[in-house]
Amino acid sequence: MIHFFNTLSGQVEAFKPIEGNKVRMYTCGPTVYDFAHIGNFRTYVWEDLLRRYLKFRGLEVTQVMNITDVEDKIIKASLQNKIPIDEYTAPYIEAFFKDIDALAIERVEIYPRATHHIKEMIDLAVCLKEKGYTYETGGSLYFRISSFNDYGRLSKLDKRVLRHGARVDSDEYDKENVQDFVLWKGKKEGEPFWPSPFGEGRPGWHLECSAMSMKYLGETFDIHTGGVDNIFPHHENEIAQSEACTGKKFVNYWLHSSHLLVDGEKMAKSKGNFYTLRELLENGYRGRSIRYLLLATHYRKNLNFTFEALKQAEQELERLDDFRYRLESEKVVAGMNERLQEKIREAESEFIQTMDDDLNISGAIGVIFKLIREVNISYDRGEVTAGERDRILSLLRSWDRVLGVIERGREFIDEDIEKMIAQRNEARRNKDYGTADRIRAELLSRGIVLEDTPQGVRWKKR
């Protein structure tokens, strides 16, 4: 049974969906005012791991990720650039989808945009107003946090630090400012606005996620995720808005991932200590190794980004590629290897046990490499049979439905390269060593290294 650490209870809990084997999950998505950095992608890659693992365990996932396309920073930038917000955000939305493809992040079912759900947000604000949770001042509508008893439960805020009557308008604020927050912001000169019963204006950021999650997933759903920085105020405010209106529990399991750090500090746009994915790709790093680096540390541990670690990730993937190549190309023997069969069975169940334990990915990767060591020993002794080889290959494929990094080794050896290796073999058989060397050099220039072994030609990515 899958277990998760639930921020709401502060405990590891067994996961049980509301409805049979269906999981409804909401994920806070990007604010498209700029390119996302790899800190953001640490969170998105982990959320992808979570999604893939739920599916691996036979659950049916409906996931929503919002696109925040109206917000303080977007408005500021669009005013500076003198273009409408949707024109300003369009290239960043496109870049976001390109980036998630490069990282093999699966597309979720629904990507609602904030600007397409203004009506739902207004409806929710009206509901809160009618139930007495709000007040209007200066043309804006605020949520009165003292009117919602459970405020602070998620982020474990002490009620005494609540500053009654103080208000905040900006979308983001820190833990020191536990204040009434804005639901609807009165129109300001030059800014985009929509009509509403509270006057012309625009929605606050928090309102967006409550309105869109409940629209697509219902008033109560299974899982809500984000980075730890979303816990307060964003998720606390989402709970207040949703539960105050519906009178029902909003979300059963709240999961939050820790940050990607640089030199011990959170990677953030505002600090300037960030790398975008495209920067790394342009410098020759592969999406596959970046994914692996971001994925391989348990999500509730901080991960310090270094280029050293990225190179190590690349090397570990090479070991995986080498291993798969060995499975696909090395001779096997007849019969059956009982000991190895047992090791495979063990690995298969250990992988699940480990991942069931709050997605212990580093443990699960350990299980894979332990099996690789066992199998390599058996190969060295000439003790691998076709039966084991096929089981291991299919096990790797099934694990890769979770990891999304193993099969992608394929992209580096396309049909062309296979053909060239065959031509080189042919040339060597004909003792045409000039041609054989030319082909080897040509492959080398594409980053493919050939090794002549007694078992035949092996290739490696340089």
Q: Which residues contribute to the site for ligand AMP (CB under 6 A)?
A: 28, 30-31, 39-40, 42-43, 226-227, 229-230, 259-260, 266-268
Neighbours of 357 (CB within 10 A): 15
Please say which residue, 67 or 427, places its beta carbon nearer to Zn ion: 67
Please say which residue, 260 or 420, places its beta carbon nearer to ligand AMP: 260
CB of 267 to Zn ion, least distance (A): 19
Segment 142 to 171, residues that bind Zn ion, using CB under 5 A: none
Q: Which does 209 bind (CB under 5 to 8 A by kind): ligand AMP, Zn ion, none?
A: Zn ion
Q: Letter for the amino acid at 4?
A: F
Q: What is the DSSP string of 260-317?
A: EEETTEE--GGGT---BHHHHHHTT--HHHHHHHHHSS-TTS-EE--HHHHHHHHHHH
CB of 177 to Zn ion, least distance (A): 18
Q: Which of 2, 23, 28, 372 binds Zn ion (CB under 5 A)?
A: 28
Q: Which does 259 bind (CB under 5 to 8 A by kind): ligand AMP, Zn ion, none?
A: ligand AMP
Residue 212 to residues 109, 336, 431, 462: CA-CA distances in angstroms? 13, 55, 68, 46
CB of 313 to ligand AMP, least distance (A): 17
CB of 28 to Zn ion, least distance (A): 3
Cα–Cα distance measured from residue 40 to residue 439, given in angstroms and rounded to the nearest whole number: 42
What φ, ψ does residue 71 adopt, rounded to 5°? Answer: -175, 165
Please say which residue, 155 or 354, places its beta carbon nearer to Zn ion: 155
CB of 155 to Zn ion, least distance (A): 14
Closest to 394 measured CA to CA, from 383, 384, 382, 406: 406
What φ, ψ does residue 65 adopt, rounded to 5°? Answer: -125, 120
Please say which residue, 227 or 404, places its beta carbon nearer to Zn ion: 227
Closest to 1 measured CA to CA, from 432, 352, 407: 352
Determine contact, residues 212/219, Cβ cutoff 8 Å.
no
- Contact between 239 and Zn ion by CB under 5 A: the answer reads no
Q: Which does 266 bind (CB under 5 to 8 A by kind): Zn ion, ligand AMP, none?
A: ligand AMP
Point out which residues pair with 304 in neighbouring strands.
Answer: 261
User: Taking CB under 5 A as the rule, which mask of x and - marks residues 170-209 in contact with Zn ion?
Assistant: ---------------------------------------x
Q: Which does 267 bind (CB under 5 to 8 A by kind): ligand AMP, Zn ion, none?
A: ligand AMP
Cα-Cα-Cα-Cα dihedral sign, residues 359, 150, 117, 177? negative
Please say which residue, 117 or 266, places its beta carbon nearer to ligand AMP: 266
Cα–Cα distance measured from residue 118 to residue 115, given in angstroms and rounded to the nearest whole number: 6
**To 5 degrees, how large is the angle CA 432–CA 436–CA 437?**
120
Coil vs helix vs strand at 369? helix
CB of 259 to ligand AMP, least distance (A): 4
Q: Which does 95 bind (CB under 5 to 8 A by kind): ligand AMP, Zn ion, none?
A: none
Q: Which does 229 bind (CB under 5 to 8 A by kind): Zn ion, ligand AMP, none?
A: ligand AMP
Please say which residue, 50 or 209, places its beta carbon nearer to Zn ion: 209
CB of 76 to Zn ion, least distance (A): 20
Tokens of 421: 């290796």
Binding footprint of Zn ion on the chain (CB under 5 A): 28, 209
